[in-house]
Amino acid sequence: MRKGVAVLGSLLALGLCLALPKLVSSYRLLTYTRFLLLALTAQGWNFIGGYTGYAAFGNVAYFGIGAYTTGLLMLGRWHVPFFPALAAGALVSGAVAILLGLPILRLKGHYFAIATLGVAEALAQVADNWDSVTEGSTGIDLPIRSDGEFFYYTALGFVILGVLCTAWFSRSKLGYGCVAIREDQDAARMLGIDTTLYKGLAYALSAVFAAVAGGITAYQNVHVTPGDFFQIDYTLEMIIATIIGGAGTVAGPVLGAAIYQLLSTYVWGRFLELHPTVLGLIIVLFIVFLPRGLMTVVGRRRATGERRFRASDLLANVRAHRVT
């Protein structure tokens, strides 16, 4: 019964998403497209951060690689169409992630986080100084396409694909291996899991998702510069969205991205000058009272058959996940 209700709800939500461009203004559609692109990057970060337990702070590097690869191929002498150029950007990012992952995935904890952040900054400097290819700080201009529905449906299609990919990943040998690495890497290695291979594949998957989002954003924004596409803000947003929704869950990154985008838009409209401060406080409250994300609460309540949500549940979450 519950499974049938869940399927029906999913179909209704999908139908609403497909009809949305006909129901809202172009400005609203742009906001929903941004939410989908954030969900796409969060889905990617979920593979390495949520399932594998490696706090990657440099995924913006692959966002930028995807943007530049897509743009340069579309502008080159071959004038590659958008989707093949987007696929090439994803492949390049995945290959770069595997090469970089060989040394940096040997690190753990904050050492790994700092290393990934350093990689992102280094690639930003490469893009800023490689004038013969990237036009340096001036940037490149992609062909103009003002069809907002195209970008919305493209992002929606990739998010749906991301949900299916995450669902497969969570039930696959690769996914179980990554979860084992997250819980205890030494024990996972003793069980015969090739930790280097599993971590590398999860890192490559996260890079591919970031690159696809970067390529779509580049085509939508038309202009690509290192300062715009290698901002650490992109990484922080995908991490926050994943944590709010629930790291290591299938639907968590999408739910978290929706809530983050909703809160950001609301706070921007009501507290323009204090937008970062108010939004930051809200995020802190989420992390304090829902440290494992909203999806863990939903899943637990479905398992126990409870229907009502009580304020005491928030304090129970704090006690259950406090640092001792």
Residue 318's pLDDT band (cuts 50, 70, 90) = low
What is the distance between the alpha carbons of residues 300 and 309, in angstroms, rounded to a whole number? Answer: 11
Helix ranges (DSSP H) in the chain: 2-19, 26-45, 60-75, 82-104, 109-129, 131-134, 148-171, 173-183, 185-190, 195-221, 226-229, 232-245, 252-270, 275-289, 294-304, 312-321
Taking only the tens place, the pLDDT of each residue in 168-213 is: 999 999 999 999 999 999 999 999 999 999 999 999 999 999 999 9
Phi, psi angle pair for 143, to nearest 5° = -60, 145
Give me the chain's average pLDDT, please: 87
What mean pLDDT do residues 282-288 have?
77
Residue range 291-311, pLDDT digits in tens: 778 877 766 555 555 555 555
Global pTM? 0.89
The Cα–Cα gap between 67 and 122 comes to 16
* Band (83; pLDDT cuts 50, 70, 90): very high
Tokens of 133: 């290819």
CB-CB contact of 235 with 36 (8 Å): no
- Residue 282: phi and psi, rounded to 5, are -65, -40
Over residues 241-258, the mean pLDDT reads: 92
pLDDT of residue 84: 96
d(CA 313, CA 306): 12
pLDDT in the model for residue 50: 93
Distances (CA, A) of 53 to 173, 174, 207, 253, 294: 16, 14, 16, 15, 18
Q: According to the model, what pLDDT value does residue 324 have?
A: 47
pLDDT-based confidence at 258, cuts 50/70/90? Answer: very high
Q: Tell me, what's the pLDDT at 292?
A: 77
What's 167-230 look like in SS3? HHHHHCHHHHHHHHHHHCHHHHHHCCCCHHHHHHHHHHHHHHHHHHHHHHHHHHHCEECHHHHC
Tokens 């590097």 found at: 61
Q: What is the pLDDT of residue 153?
A: 96
Q: Above 90 in pLDDT, residue 276?
A: no
**pLDDT over 70, % of the chain:** 88
- Lowest mean pLDDT across 12-21, 26-35, 53-62, 211-220: 12-21
Asked whether 74 and 143 are in contact (CB, 8 A), the reply is: yes
**Which pLDDT band, with edges at 50, 70 and 90, does 26 fall under?**
confident
CA angle 173, 177, 180 (to 5 degrees): 145
**Residue where the block lists tokens 């559609």:** 29
Q: Which among 36, 103, 295 is positioned nearest to 111, based on CA atoms?
A: 103
Q: Tell whether the model's pLDDT for residue 113 goes beyond 70.
A: yes
Q: If you average pLDDT over each of 12-16, 105-109, 152-156, which comes out highest?
A: 152-156
Average the pLDDT over 40-55 and give the result. 95
The pLDDT of 237-248, averaged and rounded, is 92
Greater confidence (105 vs 311) lies with 105
**Nearest residue to 56 via CA among 41, 36, 68:** 41
pLDDT score for 44: 96
Section 116-139 average pLDDT: 91
Type of residue found at 43: Q
pLDDT of residue 177: 96
- For residue 226, the model assigns a pLDDT of 92
Predicted confidence band of residue 33 (pLDDT cuts 50, 70, 90):
very high
Domain boundaries, the chain: 29-234
Assign 265 a pLDDT band (cuts: 50, 70, 90): confident
Rounded alpha-carbon distances, angstroms, from residue 110 to 114, 150, 187: 6, 40, 21
CA angle 19, 21, 27 (to 5 degrees): 150
Confidence grade of residue 91 (pLDDT, cut at 50, 70, 90): very high
Per-residue pLDDT for 48 more than 80?
A: yes
Q: Which pLDDT belongs to residue 145?
A: 85
